Amino acid sequence: MPEPTSTPQDEFVAPVPKAVAPGALRRWLAPGWRELGEPVRLAPTLIAWKANFPSIGFYALALTLLLAVWIRVSVVVVALFFPGGRIDWSSPDAWAFATAYAAAGSGLALFVFATSSLSLPALLDRRDLDTITAAIVSFNALRANFATMLAWSACIVLATALGFVTGFVGLVVILPLGGHMTWHAYRESVAPWG
């Protein structure tokens, strides 16, 4: 009888703490906690950004500025429909406001997702890459795999909502797992070409 082959993922179940996930769930989470047989260490993940600090710092600044743009757009949309600044859901304009607000938010969210969905893994992987090029790489990945990336963004929204509903406790598992899956999305869609 031939020897069963094992992958590196099969060899590590123990690193996922029992307090986080009991039994079979630990086996499912293990690849997200330990990749290719490397030991789980927190310290290197806390300083990974130092390898490409200028670009990652500019990336963080750009996202912060986009947040400021969203805050301003949000205020303007509310002011256009409700000059007093107080939203009145019984008003005849409430549905038009909700539609305009959702359209503005969705448009900005799509832009942010398109330019940043794979940017951070690219900046961490390629230390000579600049932020604008990483955003273009991310945008091109979205264009090439639009339906898949849109489904991925819906998963991110639902998982984040689940994390919020659980009083942010769920984010302890959702964020590292999402980061791990984003890394693999980058490796599968971008890294092979260059």
Instruction: Please compute Rg for the chain using Cα positions.
Output: 21
**Residue 4 sits in the same domain as residue 84:** no
Task: Give residue 116's identity as a one-letter amino acid code.
Answer: S
For 82-128, the DSSP string reads -TTS---TTSTTHHHHHHHHHHHHHHHHHHHHHHHTTHHHHHHH-TT
Structural domain range at position 156: 53-193
**Residue 18 sits in the same domain as residue 61:** no
**Structural domain includes residue 187:** yes
Residue 56, judged by CB atoms within 10 A of its CB (0-12, 13-18, 19+), counts as buried
- Residue 59 makes CB contacts below 8 A (sequence gap 6+) with 116, 119, 120, 123, 131, 134
Residue 120 CA: distances (Å) to CA of 72, 124, 170, 179: 26, 6, 22, 10
**Structural domain includes residue 90:** yes
pLDDT at residue 39, as a whole number: 65
pLDDT at residue 37, as a whole number: 53
**Residue 70 sits in the same domain as residue 30:** no
**Residue 36 sits in the same domain as residue 65:** no
**Residue 85 sits in the same domain as residue 178:** yes
Residue 63, judged by CB atoms within 10 A of its CB (0-12, 13-18, 19+), counts as middle
pLDDT at residue 31, as a whole number: 46
Quick: pLDDT tens for 33-53. 445 455 666 777 778 888 889
**Residue 147 sits in the same domain as residue 185:** yes
Number of domains in the chain: 2
**Residue 97 sits in the same domain as residue 26:** no
**Residue 144 sits in the same domain as residue 171:** yes
**Residue 19 sits in the same domain as residue 78:** no
Q: What is the chain's pLDDT, residue by residue, as a tens digit (194 residues)? A: 444 444 433 333 334 344 444 444 444 444 444 454 556 667 777 788 888 899 999 999 999 999 999 999 999 999 999 988 888 899 888 999 999 999 999 999 999 999 999 999 999 888 889 999 999 999 999 998 899 999 989 999 999 999 999 999 999 888 888 888 888 888 888 866 55
pLDDT at residue 45, as a whole number: 74
**Residue 109 sits in the same domain as residue 63:** yes
Q: How far apart are CA 90 and CA 32, in angstroms?
A: 47
pLDDT at residue 191, as a whole number: 63
pLDDT at residue 166, as a whole number: 94
Q: How far apart are CA 119 and CA 131, in angstroms?
A: 8
**Residue 150 sits in the same domain as residue 186:** yes
Nearest-5° angle of CA 186, CA 192, CA 194? 100
**DSSP-derived secondary structure letter, 5:** P
**Structural domain includes residue 48:** no
**Structural domain includes residue 33:** yes
**Residue 23 sits in the same domain as residue 64:** no
